[in-house]
């Protein structure tokens, strides 16, 4: 009787172990890294400006998507055209969520932009590299104590000169230390040659003049 009891116990124990093993194998295995997302300090929105002359400027401006994690940024970046592949006259704009990429937005009224100009021959390499680095600087809050001054950035693809602009919230002279610090960080991170100049222009000056006629407040 003792032997039968032990056999019965052993069989039951083995069946339980097999069942447990089967249950474990039935559970879906999800890689750990797909469950973890790294939040950004701010949420950001990507905009696209198309060049349709049948529409006015606001009709051409399209809000694409917002994101607030590192992983969602890379997912977006890897599924859209590179800046160098945009048609002439088109733009990408990346701004903090809630701020529209236009001078008239309340958050931009008193601000300005650091402007990087690139010749057409620089489009194949520098344009995409600079644009990616600018975006990473923004979403990574690379500007340290002055990161709150950053509103967004634009990349403009044009016939002769492409432009990248980093928009700040306040262009007042009282913010000169912040503005210059941001400009120096841009040149450092983008590894812009010391002989290549970047300029800071107030939005209110850009609205009344265009091109080389716009007065620049700072040069680096």
CB neighbours of residue 25 within 10 Å: 8
pLDDT on residue 57: 85
**Tell me: the pLDDT tens digits for 177-220?**
999 999 999 999 999 988 899 999 999 887 765 555 678 888 89
Mean pLDDT of 54-61: 89
pLDDT on residue 56: 87
| Domains of the chain, earliest start first | 39-219 (3.30.760.10)
Token representation of residue 29? 């295995």
Q: Which residue's entry shows tokens 């008239």?
A: 104
CB neighbours of residue 54 within 10 Å: 6
pLDDT of residue 2 exceeding 60: no
pTM above 0.95, yes or no: no
Cβ neighbors of 169 (< 8 A, separation 6 or more) are: 107, 108, 110, 111, 148, 149, 150, 151
Q: Residue 150: in which H helix or E strand, if any? A: strand 150-156
Token representation of residue 51? 């060049």
Cβ neighbors of 219 (< 8 A, separation 6 or more) are: 197, 198, 199, 200
**Tell me: the pLDDT tens digits for 122-180?**
998 899 999 999 999 999 999 999 999 999 999 999 999 999 999 999 998 899 999 99
**Tell me: the pLDDT tens digits for 74-120?**
999 999 999 999 999 999 999 999 999 999 999 999 999 999 999 98
pLDDT on residue 210: 59
Q: What is the mean pLDDT of the chain?
A: 85
Report the alpha-carbon distance of residue 47 to residue 211 in Å, rounded.
23
pLDDT-based confidence at 54, cuts 50/70/90?
confident
Q: Residue 164: in which H helix or E strand, if any? A: strand 161-168
pLDDT on residue 3: 40
Contact 114, 196 (CB under 8 A): no
Say what percent of the chain tops pLDDT 90: 66
- Residue by residue, DSSP assigns 25-79 as HHS----GGGT---EEEEEEEEEEE---TTS-HHHHEEEEEEEEEHHHHHHHHTT
Distances (CA, A) of 93 to 4, 134, 137: 78, 11, 14
């Amino acid at each position: 009787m003792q032997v039968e009891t032990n056999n019965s116990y052993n069989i039951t124990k083995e069946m339980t172990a097999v069942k447990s093993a089967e249950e474990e194998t039935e559970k879906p295995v999800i890689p750990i890294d797909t469950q973890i997302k790294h939040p950004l300090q701010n949420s950001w929105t990507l905009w696209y400006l198309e060049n349709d002359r049948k529409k006015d400027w606001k009709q051409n401006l399209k809000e694409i998507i917002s994101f607030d994690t590192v992983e969602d940024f890379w997912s977006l970046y890897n599924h859209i055209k590179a800046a160098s592949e945009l048609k002439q006259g088109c733009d990408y704009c990346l701004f903090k969520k809630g701020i529209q990429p236009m001078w008239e937005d309340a958050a931009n009224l008193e601000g300005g932009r650091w402007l990087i100009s690139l010749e057409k021959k620089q489009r194949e390499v520098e344009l995409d590299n600079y644009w990616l680095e600018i975006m990473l600087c923004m979403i990574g809050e690379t500007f340290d104590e002055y990161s709150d001054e950053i509103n967004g950035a634009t990349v403009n693809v044009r016939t002769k000169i492409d432009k990248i602009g980093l928009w700040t919230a306040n262009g007042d002279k009282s913010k000169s230390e912040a503005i210059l610090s941001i400009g120096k960080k841009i040149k450092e991170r983008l590894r812009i040659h010391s002989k290549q100049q970047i300029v800071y222009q107030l939005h209110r000056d850009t609205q009344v003049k265009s091109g080389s006629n716009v007065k620049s407040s700072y040069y680096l």
